[in-house]
A and B are shown apart, each in its own frame.
Chain A
Amino acid sequence: MILPLSKTKSNCPSPEELSLCLRATAVVDDVVQQHIGDCQTCQATLQAIAADATWWDEVETTLYTAPDPAAERIAHSICALSGYQNADPADQELTAHELSQLRTHLQPPSHPELLGRIGRYELEQLVGRGGMGLVFRGHDTDLHRVVAIKTIASHLNPRGAARERFVREARASASLTHPHIVAVYDVITDSQLPAIVMQYIPGQTLEQWLKEQGPMPWPTVLQLGIQLADALNAAHESGLIHRDIKPGNVMLEAGCLRALIADFGLVRALDEASLTHTGALAGTPDFMSPEQARGQVLDQRSDLFSLGAVLYTMLTGCPPFHAPQPMAVLNRICHQRHQSVAVVCSDVPMQVSRVVDKLLQKQPRKRYASAAEVRDMLQQLSRSSIHLQTRRPMQLYKFVGLAAAVLAVALLYPFASMLGQSLGIPSGQSNSGYSLPGESGPPDPAARLLRTQRIADRFVDLDRLSQQLQGIEVAVTELEHAPAIAAAELADRGSVQYSISSELQWLQSEVSRLEMEFNQ
């Protein structure tokens, strides 16, 4: 709108006219503008209409100092956290927002069917998404090969010294060559949209596979586990820790016979390079080690814990510490023992379950010492797989259960008869020709009560002993590699087993004596 200059006594526009000038879309007449430039009264009025003096002061003092750059870093890390939660990794359609982002950051494609270009790489199709950003299948126009291109969300784009650190880490990871590690070809940090170029694996991630097919048969898990442990070993030997082993970072080649680990050290390097330190990028905490959840210094044994969690998930279909809330997951990882695989899936052999148990030990020193050791153990199990048993170790409990049932019968009989006596109802035994309680005089009920009390106490002992035995079983499994100590634990187990069997014998004899007495 054009604001006409209305003549007032002093030639000044009215306050109403001046306030119209402040509308965001108003076009101010040149004459009015000229007048404002010359007339101090109108300048003051305009300024007062816009905001009073306190506002002008506040704006000046607040905006004069530059914002703390730390605030922006923190804000980004929080957004990354929420951003991860809403992206479905399997959704292979680009959202309108993502498309517009890509269009602004990518060079135009050489063919209209393609999405765009980064340097010498053409982006063809979205194949997945992760904590870092989007993953595309692409084409290397120089070497004429298919590649996977992982773009890094712009807010995670590392800058300055952090970028150098990230590039260094990426180079280290590019130096890894192993049949079960996805090769890194190139790292692009000079583009508007930084990206990592890597080997393209036709197939799907272990995460997608498990989601669609459920748990894997344990012999397959052993095979893939050997490959993963071998890949980890190669990386650990070159001093690289993955720090984010999870099913989403394991690629399964079509046919599910070959597994490859992706993103060695990259996710965490990026997380640190973008100074978030929150682990927000890692996405799900389901596969974090306790030391990772606590933010402690990590070594290669942290990867072994994560490997254990991945093997557990492959065998059972569900992560070992799963809970609906991420914070509950971390709490479980740090404080709760998982349920053994053999307890969840009775068809998985004890020996296999024990390897996973040992990998999932809360304390790093109680896990295997190296990935090589895990690989050898899995290989050994795989070779002897036809001999593996699926027997549960705690058959003792069945005995205890049986004994308890017998005792319950023994305890109930005298009380039933006493009750019958006091109410004048003939008890079952009286009908079967045995003497009535009142006639021949059974042993003193008080003494009998005392004895049953003692039997009940001994049952508590038995329970304690069997718990002790279970503890020793666990210890023995853990100590497999320290034969001398294991021998001592085994000896303990022998003595506890002896105590249990003598305890059981005593209970059985007492129970049968009670029965005898009652039937007299």
Chain B
Amino acid sequence: MAEFPDTRISLIIRLGEASDVQAWQEFAEIYAPALLGLARRRGLQPADAEDVTQEILFGVARAVQRFQPDQNRAMFRTWLSRIAHNLIHDFCEGRRRRPAAHAISDSWLEKATQAGESASHDDFDEELRASILRLAAKRVQERVAPKTWNAFEQTAIQNRTAEWVSQEFGMTVGSVYVARCRVMSMLRNDVQQLLADCQVTPADSNAEEGLQ
């Protein structure tokens, strides 16, 4: 049950090596929902949001080899965030409705990274946090016993009482509490790892050590 296989190597550096399938998967799993969420937040219709997300990721996937990750990973996030803001803005203005295949013209990246009106990265960070949380949840769920996950899901997400879960699934109330807290603890660890990889500031940096 290795907690974190090789997340120490920066995701973005690994993306540059096309052979690193795992890195690509992680990249897509984190950024696709985040970009989609951002586009929806800006008022795009579902189909448009999907189009623009696809265009951004398709273009970035092809351009990432050209991105120099020598400074730091936060730059990648800023870079991507700017591309997202510009393209979503363009889309909102109705300036173009084009298939993702456009993301492959040479001038795409140049246009997409032009400094537009100053955009805050806050809402992109929020979306990133949310998609990282989902990814972490997915991973933790794969690592723990179904019963353990269930205790967590029912109490922490579905708002059921520990007593209800204990009766419904034949667990002691104490084991429901232990299971739910154990999953939460793992989840927090995973999220912090992924956030560090993407250089997003955690919402509450004091949460690091919990209340002790």
Q: Tell me whether A428 is interfacial, beta carbon within 8 Å.
A: no
For B177-202 the 0/1 string (1 means CB < 8 A from A) is 11011101111100000000000000
Known contacts A78-B61, A82-B21; A60 and B100 CB within 8 A of each other: no
Known contacts A64-B157, A327-B104; A51 and B207 CB within 8 A of each other: yes
State the Cβ distance, B176 to closest chain A Cβ, in Å: 8
Interchain CB contact (< 8 A) of B178 among A28, A75, A292: A28
Q: Tell me whether B27 is interfacial, beta carbon within 8 Å.
A: yes
Which residue on chain A has the smallest CB distance to residue B148? A24
Contacting residues, chain A, for B151 (C-beta < 8 A): none
Q: Is the CB of B178 within 8 A of A21?
A: yes
Contacting residues, chain B, for A22 (C-beta < 8 A): 178, 181-182, 185
Contacting residues, chain A, for B181 (C-beta < 8 A): 21-22, 46-47, 49-50
Which residue on chain A has the smallest CB distance to residue B130? A62
| Complex: A75 Cα to B103 Cα, angstroms | 16
Binding stretch for chain A, among B29-37, B69-77, B78-86, B87-95 = B29-37
| Complex: A83 Cα to B162 Cα, angstroms | 44
Q: Tell me whether A105 is interfacial, beta carbon within 8 Å.
A: no
Q: Tell me whether A509 is interfacial, beta carbon within 8 Å.
A: no
Contacting residues, chain A, for B13 (C-beta < 8 A): none
Q: Tell me whether B114 is interfacial, beta carbon within 8 Å.
A: no
Q: Tell me whether A36 is interfacial, beta carbon within 8 Å.
A: yes
> Which of A314-366 touch B at CB < 8 Å?
325-328, 330-331, 334
Among A25, A71, A86, A293, find the residue whose CB has the most chain B CB atoms closer than 10 A: A71
Q: Is the CB of B28 within 8 A of A78?
A: yes
Which residue on chain B has the smallest CB distance to residue A49? B210
Q: Is the CB of B177 within 8 A of A37?
A: yes
Known contacts A79-B24, A293-B101, A328-B106; A37 and B172 CB within 8 A of each other: yes
Interchain CB contact (< 8 A) of B50 among A28, A62, A70, A81: A70
Q: Tell me whether A43 is interfacial, beta carbon within 8 Å.
A: yes
Which residue on chain B has the smallest CB distance to residue A73? B50
Contacting residues, chain B, for A325 (C-beta < 8 A): 62
Q: Tell me whether A63 is interfacial, beta carbon within 8 Å.
A: yes
State the Cβ distance, A279 to closest chain B Cβ, in Å: 6
Contacting residues, chain B, for A71 (C-beta < 8 A): 32-33, 36, 53, 131
Q: Is the CB of A75 within 8 A of B32?
A: yes
Contacting residues, chain A, for B130 (C-beta < 8 A): 62
For B95-134 the 0/1 string (1 means CB < 8 A from A) is 0001111111110100000000000000000000111011
Tally A residues with Cβ within 8 Å of B: 64
| Complex: A261 Cα to B63 Cα, angstroms | 33
> Which of A7-56 touch B at CB < 8 Å?
15, 21-25, 28, 32-38, 43, 46-52, 54-56
Q: Is the CB of B137 within 8 A of A63?
A: yes
Q: Tell me whether B7 is interfacial, beta carbon within 8 Å.
A: no
Q: How many A-B residue pairs have CB under 8 A?
A: 200
For B119-163 the 0/1 string (1 means CB < 8 A from A) is 000000000011101100100000110000000000011110010
Contacting residues, chain B, for A77 (C-beta < 8 A): 54, 58
| Complex: A81 Cα to B25 Cα, angstroms | 11
Known contacts A43-B177, A295-B101; A82 and B24 CB within 8 A of each other: yes
Q: Tell me whether A278 is interfacial, beta carbon within 8 Å.
A: yes
Q: Is the CB of A50 within 8 A of B184?
A: yes
Contacting residues, chain A, for B61 (C-beta < 8 A): 78, 81-82
State the Cβ distance, B77 to closest chain A Cβ, in Å: 17
| Complex: A52 Cα to B206 Cα, angstroms | 9
Which residue on chain B has the smallest CB distance to residue A325? B62
Known contacts A62-B130, A62-B134, A328-B106; A52 and B185 CB within 8 A of each other: no
Known contacts A24-B182, A60-B156, A82-B24; A330 and B36 CB within 8 A of each other: no
Q: Is the CB of B211 within 8 A of A49?
A: yes
Q: Is the CB of A34 within 8 A of B177?
A: no
Contacting residues, chain A, for B156 (C-beta < 8 A): 56, 59-60, 63
Which residue on chain B has the smallest CB distance to residue A81? B61
Contacting residues, chain B, for A15 (C-beta < 8 A): 212
Interchain CB contact (< 8 A) of B185 among A49, A60, A68: A49
| Complex: A414 Cα to B206 Cα, angstroms | 89
State the Cβ distance, B21 to closest chain A Cβ, in Å: 6
Q: Tell me whether B57 is interfacial, beta carbon within 8 Å.
A: yes
Contacting residues, chain B, for A78 (C-beta < 8 A): 24, 27-28, 32, 57-58, 61
For A61-105 the 0/1 string (1 means CB < 8 A from B) is 011100110111111111101110110000000000000000000
Contacting residues, chain B, for A58 (C-beta < 8 A): 129, 133, 203
State the Cβ distance, A30 to closest chain B Cβ, in Å: 8
Contacting residues, chain A, for B43 (C-beta < 8 A): none
Q: Is the CB of A278 within 8 A of B100?
A: yes
Q: Tell me whether A116 is interfacial, beta carbon within 8 Å.
A: no
> Which of A456-483 touch B at CB < 8 Å?
none
Contacting residues, chain B, for A75 (C-beta < 8 A): 25, 28-29, 32-33
Contacting residues, chain A, for B19 (C-beta < 8 A): 85-86
Q: Is the CB of B211 within 8 A of A48?
A: yes
Q: Tell me whether B170 is interfacial, beta carbon within 8 Å.
A: no
| Complex: A63 Cα to B36 Cα, angstroms | 16
Which residue on chain B has the smallest CB distance to residue A279? B101
Contacting residues, chain B, for A76 (C-beta < 8 A): 28
Contacting residues, chain B, for A128 (C-beta < 8 A): none
Contacting residues, chain A, for B159 (C-beta < 8 A): 60
Which residue on chain A has the smallest CB distance to residue B65? A325
Q: Tell me whether B9 is interfacial, beta carbon within 8 Å.
A: no
| Complex: A432 Cα to B97 Cα, angstroms | 78
Q: Tell me whether B49 is interfacial, beta carbon within 8 Å.
A: yes
State the Cβ distance, A88 to closest chain B Cβ, in Å: 11
Q: Is the CB of B32 within 8 A of A85?
A: no
State the Cβ distance, B138 to closest chain A Cβ, in Å: 9
Contacting residues, chain B, for A33 (C-beta < 8 A): 172, 174-175, 178
Contacting residues, chain B, for A56 (C-beta < 8 A): 156, 184
Which residue on chain B has the smallest CB distance to residue A294? B101
Known contacts A79-B25, A326-B62; A54 and B203 CB within 8 A of each other: yes
Sample of 10 A–B contacts (CB below 8 Å): A21-B182, A24-B1, A37-B166, A38-B173, A46-B177, A49-B185, A55-B207, A70-B46, A75-B29, A278-B54
Given contact pairs A28-B175, A278-B58, enumerate 13 new A-B contacts (beta carbons under 8 Å): A33-B174, A36-B174, A51-B210, A58-B133, A62-B133, A67-B33, A70-B50, A73-B50, A74-B53, A74-B54, A78-B28, A81-B58, A82-B21
What 4 A-B pairs are tightest by C-beta distance, nearest first?
A295-B99, A37-B174, A37-B173, A33-B174
